[in-house]
Amino acid sequence: MTIEEIKNKIASSEYSFLKEKPLGNNIILLGLGGSYAYGTNTENSDLDIRGIATHNAEDILTRKGFEQVVNEATDTTVYSLEKIVNLLSNCNPNIIEILGLEPWQYLYTGYIGQELIKNKDMFLSKRAAHSFSGYATTQLRKLSNKEQEQREKYILASIENARYSYPNKYFNYPEDSIKLYIDKAIQEDYDTEIFMDINLKHYPLRDYKSMWSEMQNIVKDYSKIGRRNSKAIEHDKLGKHMMHLIRLYLMCFDILEDGKIITYRKKEHDFLMDIRNGKYLDDNKQPTKEFYDIVDEMENKLNYLKDHSPLPDNPDYKRINDFLYDANLYVLYQEGIV
* Domains defined for the chain, CATH in brackets: 3-123+315-334 (3.30.460), 127-308 (no CATH)
| Spatial contact of 173 and 203, defined as CB atoms under 8 Å apart | yes
pLDDT at 148: 65
pLDDT attached to residue 233? 45
* Global pTM value: 0.75
Direct distance between the N- and C-terminal alpha carbons of the chain, in angstroms, rounded to an integer: 44
Q: Say how many C-beta atoms besides its own lie within 10 A of residue 334's C-beta.
A: 15
Tens-place pLDDT, residues 178-201: 999 999 888 877 788 899 999 999
Bridge partner list, 29: 52, 109
Neighbours of 299 (CB within 10 A): 18
- Asked if 123 and 99 count as a contact pair (C-beta separation under 8 A), the reply is yes
CA distance 180 to 155: 11
Specify the pLDDT at position 144: 56
Euclidean distance between CA atoms 152 and 191, whole angstroms: 10
Q: Residues of the chain whose pLDDT is less than 50?
A: 226-230, 232-235
Which residue from 231, 247, 253 is spatially nearest to 40, judged by alpha carbons?
Answer: 247
Q: What is the pLDDT of residue 141?
A: 64
**Predicted pLDDT at 228:** 46
Coarse DSSP helix, strand, coil percentages of the chain, rounded to the nearest 5 percent: 60, 10, 30
What's residue 130's pLDDT? 87
